[in-house]
Amino acid sequence: MNGISDSIVFTALSVALHLTIQWLLIIRVLLKPHRDPRARLAWVVVIIALPIGGIIAYLLLGETNIGRKRAARMRAVLAQIPTSQAVPGDDSPNLAPQIPKRYQHLFQVGHSISGFKPVGGNHAHLMHDSNDVIETLVADIDAAQDHVHLLFYIWLPDDNGLNVAKALMRAASRGVTCRAMADDLGARAMIHSKHWQAMHTAGVRLARALPIGNPILRVLGGRIDLRNHRKVVVIDDHITYCGSQNCADPEFRVKAKYAPWVDLMIRFEGPIARQNQHLFASDWMAHVNDDIHAMLRRPLPDIQPGISAQVVGTGPTVRDSAMPEMFEALIYSARHSLVITTPYYVPDEALQAALCASARRGVETLIIFPQRNDSRVVAAASRSYYAELLTAGVQIYEYVGGLLHTKSLTLDGEISLIGSANMDRRSFELNYENNILIYSSELTQQIRQRQQHYLDSAVRVDPDDVANWPPHRRLINNTIAMLGPIL
């Protein structure tokens, strides 16, 4: 009898403890600042509907937290390398951006995010394809005289990845300082290969961004899925690359059935490289005891007349909603044409409304997605938004020539944004991203031509087809989209 009584007491205490934990987590969800009300509701539903799984899911994925120690170190690094410091050469008249008044507010948004002001005196070359990027990058590394700084989310030990690794080893052997950083999750294949050790042995200074370590213990120090998604290259403080491409073959053999990966990358020369240098330095010094902030005070290389551009760097330690604000400001500024490419579209309510409003006010609004996405979950969530976009007059195209991985935006033939950020909540809230905002009719037209190439290889989505999707398909899409705030 006592055994039965003890069992009842134990069960009652277990239930009481479980309910207490549930309600404490629900209270924490409701009190957490800077959270979308829909995200609050989604998490409350998950915690209640999945008594054990919901609690575990929230503890693992519920909060944007890189860990107190990492956050403190990042703040200390950023305080050490302010973006507004004066350096010799910044009084050059060619550095002053030439941006019409109608677009200056866009660059003010960028400045409010990263602290970088737009700079003139830049020259840009839109690379032909992924292999062209790697061939040119290797040539630039081989020609480097002082330093090579490189950061990629994914770095694979395939042909292109190894060509870059070999170029870094050659540069290090002749006395060029080479620093290479890769995300510990995205680049795990390279990091755990013999080639990573070979680079270290050759004198390349290496770092792993957001190292995972023991996955169980890692959870105690912050979310494991907060990643550094940036793609940054800076060579001799004068050359930089920006775009969507990782350090890998376009065949992307780890997900070969979706290949080729179709990317857009631009090679820049000019003072915009210094802004990417800031991003690299902040990421590097947050992980490595190697103080390189003095490099940011070096005189700027000779500045010639050129286009105006601005680096926009975002991440979980930057203010909430920074990247959506940038996208929304651009979308609302369009007056004639707006063309967007993104592989992953899981917007917040404001971004979806901005796109619909663009089409409704008569702007030709086009958005291009890949027809076959490497994430079925994201693809389903994206398609849940099709009906509303199409009803508003947005033209949706699905690219059929591979996985369109390009993240690009052009508006009115004069302004463009390229970089690593997708139009999804992961890029908005969880990933470190880097983008460049550009004012240049010539370069924007070149990017628009590349977008047209994508359109020529795409199928336009028919509103009638979407309207006739069977109920089970709409149910799946909408259910997954409903969970978007917690994905």
Q: Which are the catalytic amino acids? A: 229, 231, 236, 405, 407, 412
| Number of other CB atoms surrounding residue 357 within 10 Å | 16
Q: In Å, how far from its chain's centre is CA 329?
A: 18
Cα 176 to Cα 237: distance, rounded to the nearest angstrom = 13
Catalogue the long-range contacts made by 18-27 (C-beta closer than 8 Å, 24 or more residues apart).
Answer: 18/51, 21/55, 22/47, 22/48, 22/51, 22/54, 22/55, 25/55, 25/58, 25/62
The pairing of strands 232-235 and 265-269 is unpaired
Q: In Å, how far from its chain's centre is CA 47?
A: 29
Radius of gyration of the chain (CA): 24
DSSP 38: H
Q: Helix 68-80 vs helix 272-285: angle between axes, to the nearest 10 degrees?
A: 140
Residue 363 near residue 334, CB atoms below 8 Å: yes
* One-letter amino acid of 201: T
